A and B are shown apart, each in its own frame.
Chain A
Protein backbone atom coordinates (compact mmCIF):
# COMPACT_ATOMS: atom_id res chain seq x y z
CA UNK A 1 0.00 0.00 0.00
CA UNK A 2 1.21 3.46 -0.85
CA UNK A 3 1.22 5.66 2.25
CA UNK A 4 1.33 9.46 1.90
CA UNK A 5 1.35 12.17 4.55
CA UNK A 6 -1.02 15.06 3.97
CA UNK A 7 -1.95 18.14 5.95
CA UNK A 8 -5.24 19.94 6.08
CA UNK A 9 -6.24 21.33 2.67
CA UNK A 10 -3.69 19.20 0.87
CA UNK A 11 -4.89 16.72 -1.68
CA UNK A 12 -3.89 13.68 -3.66
CA UNK A 13 -4.77 12.82 -7.22
CA UNK A 14 -5.67 9.31 -8.27
CA UNK A 15 -5.26 9.12 -12.01
CA UNK A 16 -6.28 12.23 -13.90
CA UNK A 17 -9.69 12.86 -12.47
CA UNK A 18 -10.06 11.63 -8.92
CA UNK A 19 -9.03 14.15 -6.28
CA UNK A 20 -9.15 13.55 -2.56
CA UNK A 21 -8.67 16.55 -0.28
CA UNK A 22 -8.15 16.53 3.46
CA UNK A 23 -10.85 19.00 4.48
CA UNK A 24 -10.50 18.81 8.23
CA UNK A 25 -8.66 16.91 10.92
CA UNK A 26 -10.05 16.77 14.44
CA UNK A 27 -8.57 14.28 16.87
CA UNK A 28 -8.80 10.88 15.24
CA UNK A 29 -11.38 12.01 12.70
CA UNK A 30 -10.44 13.09 9.21
CA UNK A 31 -12.90 14.67 6.81
CA UNK A 32 -12.17 14.02 3.18
CA UNK A 33 -13.53 15.76 0.13
CA UNK A 34 -13.71 13.64 -2.98
CA UNK A 35 -14.03 14.88 -6.52
CA UNK A 36 -14.53 12.13 -9.03
CA UNK A 37 -16.33 11.51 -12.31
CA UNK A 38 -19.95 10.41 -11.97
CA UNK A 39 -19.06 6.91 -13.09
CA UNK A 40 -16.81 6.39 -10.07
CA UNK A 41 -18.83 5.15 -7.13
CA UNK A 42 -17.66 6.41 -3.78
CA UNK A 43 -18.85 4.68 -0.60
CA UNK A 44 -17.77 4.29 2.97
CA UNK A 45 -16.15 0.91 2.96
CA UNK A 46 -18.03 -0.43 5.98
CA UNK A 47 -21.35 0.43 4.32
CA UNK A 48 -20.36 -1.30 1.12
CA UNK A 49 -19.16 -4.33 3.05
CA UNK A 50 -22.30 -4.45 5.18
CA UNK A 51 -24.52 -4.54 2.11
CA UNK A 52 -22.36 -7.18 0.46
CA UNK A 53 -22.50 -9.36 3.58
CA UNK A 54 -26.23 -8.83 3.90
CA UNK A 55 -26.81 -9.91 0.30
CA UNK A 56 -24.89 -13.09 0.94
CA UNK A 57 -26.79 -13.78 4.12
CA UNK A 58 -30.12 -13.06 2.41
CA UNK A 59 -29.27 -15.46 -0.40
CA UNK A 60 -28.82 -18.27 2.11
CA UNK A 61 -32.37 -18.24 3.39
CA UNK A 62 -33.83 -21.70 3.71
CA UNK A 63 -37.38 -20.48 3.42
CA UNK A 64 -39.37 -21.86 0.50
CA UNK A 65 -42.91 -20.65 1.04
CA UNK A 66 -43.53 -16.95 1.50
CA UNK A 67 -47.24 -17.09 2.25
CA UNK A 68 -46.71 -17.48 6.02
CA UNK A 69 -44.48 -14.41 5.93
CA UNK A 70 -47.07 -12.44 3.97
CA UNK A 71 -49.40 -12.98 6.89
CA UNK A 72 -46.79 -11.79 9.39
CA UNK A 73 -46.31 -8.58 7.46
CA UNK A 74 -49.90 -7.94 6.52
CA UNK A 75 -51.05 -6.84 3.13
CA UNK A 76 -51.13 -3.56 1.28
CA UNK A 77 -54.30 -1.51 1.29
CA UNK A 78 -55.45 -3.02 -1.95
CA UNK A 79 -53.95 -6.46 -2.40
CA UNK A 80 -53.10 -7.19 -5.99
CA UNK A 81 -52.34 -3.68 -7.16
CA UNK A 82 -48.64 -4.17 -6.84
CA UNK A 83 -48.87 -7.48 -8.62
CA UNK A 84 -50.57 -5.94 -11.60
CA UNK A 85 -48.04 -3.20 -11.72
CA UNK A 86 -45.20 -5.64 -11.41
CA UNK A 87 -46.36 -8.04 -14.05
CA UNK A 88 -47.65 -5.40 -16.37
CA UNK A 89 -51.04 -7.09 -16.58
CA UNK A 90 -53.62 -5.43 -18.73
Chain B
Protein backbone atom coordinates (compact mmCIF):
# COMPACT_ATOMS: atom_id res chain seq x y z
CA UNK B 1 0.00 0.00 0.00
CA UNK B 2 1.36 3.41 -0.94
CA UNK B 3 0.62 6.52 1.11
CA UNK B 4 1.44 9.91 -0.34
CA UNK B 5 2.55 11.88 2.72
CA UNK B 6 3.61 15.51 2.89
CA UNK B 7 6.53 14.63 5.16
CA UNK B 8 7.96 11.51 3.59
CA UNK B 9 6.68 11.67 0.04
CA UNK B 10 5.49 8.31 -1.16
CA UNK B 11 5.62 5.90 1.74
CA UNK B 12 5.34 2.22 0.94
CA UNK B 13 3.49 0.58 3.80
CA UNK B 14 3.52 -3.12 4.45
CA UNK B 15 -0.06 -3.91 5.39
CA UNK B 16 1.22 -6.44 7.89
CA UNK B 17 2.83 -3.64 9.88
CA UNK B 18 -0.27 -1.50 10.17
CA UNK B 19 -1.41 -1.12 13.78
CA UNK B 20 -5.12 -0.71 14.35
CA UNK B 21 -6.34 1.51 17.15
CA UNK B 22 -9.98 0.41 17.34
CA UNK B 23 -10.91 3.50 19.35
CA UNK B 24 -8.52 5.86 17.63
CA UNK B 25 -6.61 8.39 19.70
CA UNK B 26 -8.34 10.91 21.96
CA UNK B 27 -9.49 13.70 19.68
CA UNK B 28 -8.82 11.49 16.65
CA UNK B 29 -11.46 8.83 17.07
CA UNK B 30 -12.08 8.37 13.38
CA UNK B 31 -8.51 7.59 12.39
CA UNK B 32 -7.74 4.08 13.47
CA UNK B 33 -4.81 2.81 11.41
CA UNK B 34 -1.21 3.84 11.91
CA UNK B 35 2.20 2.66 10.88
CA UNK B 36 5.48 3.26 12.68
CA UNK B 37 8.04 4.89 10.45
CA UNK B 38 11.67 5.31 11.42
CA UNK B 39 13.49 7.17 8.65
CA UNK B 40 16.77 7.34 10.60
CA UNK B 41 16.65 3.69 11.57
CA UNK B 42 17.87 4.62 15.03
CA UNK B 43 14.72 3.72 16.87
CA UNK B 44 14.89 6.71 19.19
CA UNK B 45 12.17 8.93 17.86
CA UNK B 46 9.74 7.47 15.40
CA UNK B 47 6.84 8.74 13.41
CA UNK B 48 3.47 7.21 13.89
CA UNK B 49 1.93 7.95 10.53
CA UNK B 50 -1.80 7.73 9.96
CA UNK B 51 -2.66 5.38 7.13
CA UNK B 52 -6.01 7.08 6.64
CA UNK B 53 -4.92 10.72 6.70
CA UNK B 54 -1.57 11.38 5.01
CA UNK B 55 -1.13 14.73 6.75
CA UNK B 56 -1.58 13.21 10.21
CA UNK B 57 1.50 11.92 12.00
CA UNK B 58 2.74 11.91 15.57
CA UNK B 59 6.30 11.77 16.88
CA UNK B 60 6.59 8.96 19.40
CA UNK B 61 9.33 7.72 21.69
CA UNK B 62 10.03 4.82 23.99
CA UNK B 63 9.22 6.38 27.38
CA UNK B 64 11.98 4.43 29.10
CA UNK B 65 14.49 6.52 27.20
CA UNK B 66 12.91 9.64 28.65
CA UNK B 67 12.09 8.55 32.18
CA UNK B 68 13.71 5.43 33.50
CA UNK B 69 11.17 4.78 36.21
CA UNK B 70 8.14 5.33 34.00
CA UNK B 71 5.43 2.79 34.54
CA UNK B 72 2.09 2.29 32.94
CA UNK B 73 -0.36 1.05 35.52
CA UNK B 74 -3.51 -0.01 33.77
CA UNK B 75 -6.34 -2.32 34.58
CA UNK B 76 -7.00 -5.43 32.59
CA UNK B 77 -10.14 -3.68 31.38
CA UNK B 78 -8.13 -0.92 29.76
CA UNK B 79 -6.24 -3.51 27.78
CA UNK B 80 -9.25 -5.63 27.04
CA UNK B 81 -9.49 -4.71 23.40
CA UNK B 82 -5.80 -5.37 22.80
CA UNK B 83 -5.86 -9.08 23.49
CA UNK B 84 -2.83 -8.81 25.75
CA UNK B 85 -2.58 -11.74 28.11
CA UNK B 86 1.06 -11.24 29.06
CA UNK B 87 1.98 -7.60 29.84
CA UNK B 88 5.55 -8.21 28.67
CA UNK B 89 4.15 -8.56 25.15
CA UNK B 90 3.04 -4.96 25.21
CA UNK B 91 5.01 -2.12 23.73
CA UNK B 92 4.55 1.32 25.20
CA UNK B 93 5.06 4.57 23.33
CA UNK B 94 4.48 8.16 24.28
CA UNK B 95 3.60 10.99 21.94
CA UNK B 96 5.92 13.98 21.84
CA UNK B 97 4.79 17.54 21.30
CA UNK B 98 7.50 19.42 19.46
CA UNK B 99 7.11 23.19 19.41
CA UNK B 100 9.05 25.59 17.21
CA UNK B 101 11.90 25.48 19.71
CA UNK B 102 12.49 21.73 19.87
CA UNK B 103 14.50 22.01 23.08
CA UNK B 104 11.11 22.66 24.71
CA UNK B 105 9.63 19.40 23.49
CA UNK B 106 7.36 17.58 25.90
CA UNK B 107 6.19 14.02 26.24
CA UNK B 108 2.65 13.01 27.04
CA UNK B 109 3.26 10.54 29.83
CA UNK B 110 -0.36 10.58 30.93
CA UNK B 111 -1.80 9.24 27.69
CA UNK B 112 0.62 6.54 26.56
CA UNK B 113 0.04 4.28 23.60
CA UNK B 114 -0.02 0.60 24.38
CA UNK B 115 0.53 -1.70 21.43
CA UNK B 116 0.22 -5.44 21.09
CA UNK B 117 2.60 -6.00 18.19
CA UNK B 118 1.59 -9.61 17.73
CA UNK B 119 -2.02 -8.74 17.08
CA UNK B 120 -1.15 -5.32 15.64
CA UNK B 121 -3.60 -3.63 17.99
CA UNK B 122 -3.11 -0.42 19.90
CA UNK B 123 -4.88 1.91 22.29
CA UNK B 124 -4.23 5.20 23.97
CA UNK B 125 -4.75 4.71 27.67
CA UNK B 126 -5.50 7.35 30.27
CA UNK B 127 -3.45 7.16 33.44
CA UNK B 128 -5.37 8.47 36.40
CA UNK B 129 -2.62 8.48 38.99
CA UNK B 130 -1.04 11.63 40.30
CA UNK B 131 2.44 12.61 39.25
CA UNK B 132 2.22 11.97 35.53
CA UNK B 133 1.64 14.79 33.15
CA UNK B 134 0.73 15.39 29.53
CA UNK B 135 3.64 17.83 29.31
CA UNK B 136 6.72 16.11 30.68
CA UNK B 137 9.68 18.32 29.69
CA UNK B 138 11.92 15.93 27.79
CA UNK B 139 15.32 17.59 28.01
CA UNK B 140 14.91 18.78 31.59
CA UNK B 141 13.79 15.30 32.48
CA UNK B 142 16.91 13.80 30.96
CA UNK B 143 19.09 16.27 32.84
CA UNK B 144 17.35 15.40 36.09
CA UNK B 145 18.26 11.79 35.46
CA UNK B 146 21.88 12.77 35.03
CA UNK B 147 21.87 12.23 31.31
CA UNK B 148 23.08 15.37 29.61
CA UNK B 149 21.24 16.06 26.38
CA UNK B 150 23.33 14.99 23.44
CA UNK B 151 25.35 12.55 25.54
Instruction: Specify which chain A residues have a CB less than 8 angstroms from the CB of B96 in the assembled complex.
Output: 58
Which size class do A's interface residues fall under?
Answer: 35 or more
For residue A51, give the distance in angstroms from its CB to the closest CB of chain B. Answer: 4
Instruction: Specify which chain A residues have a CB less than 8 angstroms from the CB of B59 in the assembled complex.
Output: 58, 61, 63, 66, 69
A55 touches B47 (CB 8 A): no
| A44 to B66 alpha-carbon distance, docked (Å) | 25
Task: Let me know if B20 is at the binding interface, CB within 8 A.
Answer: no
Task: Let me know if B108 is at the binding interface, CB within 8 A.
Answer: yes
| A83 to B149 alpha-carbon distance, docked (Å) | 21
**Contact check: which of A54, A64, A72, A80 meets B139 at CB < 8 Å?**
A72
A86 touches B98 (CB 8 A): no
A38 touches B80 (CB 8 A): yes
B7 touches A67 (CB 8 A): no
**Considering only CB atoms and an 8 Å cut-off, how many residues of chain B contact the other chain?**
58
Chain B residue at smallest Cβ distance from A50: B134
**Contact check: which of A48, A73, A81 meets B149 at CB < 8 Å?**
A73
Q: CB within 8 Å of B: which of A57-90? A: 57-59, 61-64, 66-76, 79-88
Chain A interface SS verdict (over half): helix
A59 touches B77 (CB 8 A): no
Instruction: Specify which chain B residues have a CB less than 8 angstroms from the CB of A2 in the assembled complex.
Output: none
For residue A68, give the distance in angstroms from its CB to the closest CB of chain B. Answer: 7
A71 touches B128 (CB 8 A): no
Instruction: Specify which chain A residues have a CB less than 8 angstroms from the CB of B44 in the assembled complex.
Output: 66, 70, 73, 75-76, 79, 82
Instruction: Specify which chain A residues have a CB less than 8 angstroms from the CB of B108 in the assembled complex.
Output: 51, 54-55, 58
| A-B interface, 7 closest residue pairs, ranked by CB to CB distance from nearest | A82-B43, A38-B77, A51-B111, A83-B43, A52-B27, A52-B26, A54-B134
Q: A residues bordering B, Cβ < 8 Å? A: 38-39, 41, 43-44, 47-48, 50-59, 61-64, 66-76, 79-88
Q: B residues bordering A, Cβ < 8 Å? A: 7, 17, 25-28, 36, 38-47, 56-59, 61-62, 65-66, 75-78, 80, 91, 95-100, 102-103, 105, 108, 110-111, 117, 124, 126-128, 134-135, 138-139, 142, 147-151
